Amino acid sequence: MRFAVKIIVGALFVFSGFLAKAQTTNHQAYSVFIFSIAKYSNWPVHEGEFKIVVLGKSKVYDELLKVSATKDVNGMKIVVTQAEEASQVGEANIVYLSDSKSSQLDDLLKTTNGKAVMVITEREGLFKKGAGFSFLVLDNSTLRFDINNTELEKRQIKISKSLSTLANSII
């Protein structure tokens, strides 16, 4: 099983190299990563729907809608919604913070404090300011992510060791 997870996650990174382009955001690649991060993470006991909220306008929202139509997260139906303000995220499992709303990170962290909510940001480096994951595009155009494991542990979210080994940076 562990070997299979490593192969799947490894293939994801090879795939992302083809999808990510240096000066262009490939929203399909971001949505594939978000789905994979969700699939290889564990939240405290949760039943029902798996909720992903996109905070701000982003084409990632449209791509996540496509993924949610055919995939699930550990047997739970994926429900994707969009919000304009941090106070509107509700009971999400994941909040994807679009680049245009990066200034709302502090408000988002306050709103979700004490809850098992994973914050994934489009803007590089925000994992150092409290997000669980931040995306970045390397010089060779490969999409990668940084992890704030300390923040995820505070929120009682555990990620697969395979995800950790594939991270660019971990704090």
Question: pLDDT for 96-108, tens place per residue?
Answer: 999 999 999 999 9
> Over pLDDT 70: what percentage of the chain?
85
Neighbours of 144 (CB within 10 A): 19
Residue with the bigger pLDDT between 161 and 46: it is 161
Residue pair 139/117 in contact (Cβ under 8 Å)? The answer is: no
Q: What is the DSSP letter of 109?
A: H
pLDDT score, position 169? 92
pLDDT in tens, 113-142: 999 999 999 999 999 999 999 999 888 878
Instruction: Compute the average pLDDT of residues 58-67.
Output: 94
- Among candidates 170, 165, 162, which has minimal Cα distance to 39? 162
Cα distance from N-terminal residue to C-terminal residue, the chain = 27
pLDDT in tens, 67-77: 899 999 988 99
pLDDT score, position 141? 78
pLDDT in tens, 23-43: 456 889 999 999 999 999 999
φ/ψ of residue 37, rounded to 5: -60, -45
